[in-house]
């Protein structure tokens, strides 16, 4: 049976391919979604791919994941550093979760070095660009299969 994974993308990730190409690359969110779905299929995972600029919508996505998905991959973007609500939602659903960031948050501005949501995740992948999403799919598969 195919395992279902929810990939959640936070604020401003809808602007991939348009913003700060030197930092985030040229790929659009739709291209990233397609790449994730293709890779997911190749490793036996069904991918639902979501994006929101609204913190409450992200919390609702996480809450609805319980019972519908085997795991979550989340790039909370700027909410990584500010959202206790997203942390609490991840802690409440108790699903295997990978935190992902396109850039290395530990080599950026001081305020980005602190992740509030890390306490609720199995692991963090950051600094590998868009390839981090593929890495996170491989990682979540290993977590949910074992």
Taking the C-alpha atoms of residue 96 and residue 98, their distance in angstroms, rounded to an integer, is 7
User: How many angstroms separate the Cα of 48 from the Cα of each of 5, 14, 26, 108?
Assistant: 6, 16, 22, 29
Give the containing element (helix H, strand E) for 7: strand 3-9
Query: Rounded to an integer, what is the distance from CA 1 to the centroid of its chain?
Result: 23
User: How many angstroms separate the Cα of 25 from the Cα of each of 7, 19, 139?
Assistant: 19, 8, 23
Strands (E), 22-140: 45-51, 71-75, 97-101, 123-126
Cite the active site residues: 24, 101
């Amino acid at each position: 049976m195919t395992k279902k994974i929810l990939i959640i993308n936070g604020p401003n990730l809808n602007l991939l391919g348009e913003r700060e190409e030197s930092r985030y690359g040229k790929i659009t969110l739709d291209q990233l979604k397609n790449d994730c779905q293709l890779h997911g299929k190749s490793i036996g995972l069904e991918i639902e791919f979501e994006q929101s600029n609204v913190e409450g919508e992200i919390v609702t996505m996480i809450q609805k994941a319980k019972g519908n998905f085997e795991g979550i991959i989340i790039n909370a973007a700027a909410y990584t550093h500010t959202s206790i609500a997203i942390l609490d939602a991840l802690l409440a659903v108790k699903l295997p979760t990978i935190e992902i960031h396109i850039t290395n948050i530990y080599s950026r501005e001081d305020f980005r070095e602190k992740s509030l949501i890390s306490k609720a995740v199995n692991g963090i992948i950051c600094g590998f660009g868009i390839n981090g999403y593929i890495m996170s799919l491989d990682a979540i598969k290993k977590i949910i299969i074992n």
